[in-house]
Chain A
Amino acid sequence: MSAIGLNDILLLSGLLFIIGIYGFLTRRNLITMLMSIELILNSVNLNFVAFNKYLHPNNLDGLFFTLFIITIAAAEAAVAIAIIINLYRQTKSVDVNDGNSMHY
Chain B
Amino acid sequence: METKIIFYIVSLVILGAALFSVITSKVLHAAVFLLFSLLGIAGIYFMLDYEFIAAVQISVYVGGIVVLVIFSVFLTQEAGEHMQLPKIGRALATAGILGITGWYLIQTIAGFSFKHSAEIAIAPTMKTIGSQLLDTNKFGFIIPFEGVSFLLLAALIGCIVIALKPTKKI
Contact = CB atoms under 8 A, between A and B. Distances in A.
Contacts of A12: 11, 14-15, 44
B48 interface: yes
B90 A59 contact: no
B68 A32 contact: no
A3 B18 contact: no
Contacts of A29: 27, 83-84
B contact patch SS: helix
Nearest to A12: B11
Nearest to A57: B121
B109 A14 contact: yes
A6 B114 contact: yes
A contact patch SS: helix
Interface residues of B, number: 84
Contacts of A57: 117, 119-122
A95 B84 contact: yes
Contacts of A86: 162-163
A10 B122 contact: no
Given A31-B69, A64-B132, 15 more contacts: A1-B47, A2-B116, A3-B3, A4-B7, A18-B102, A20-B22, A27-B86, A32-B30, A32-B83, A39-B18, A42-B41, A61-B139, A72-B148, A79-B158, A86-B163
Interface of A: 1-4, 6-12, 14-23, 25-29, 31-32, 34-36, 38-39, 42, 45-46, 49-50, 53-61, 63-64, 66-68, 70-79, 81-86, 88-89, 94-95
- The list of the 7 closest CB pairs from A to B, nearest first, reads A23-B22, A75-B155, A57-B121, A82-B163, A82-B162, A82-B159, A18-B102
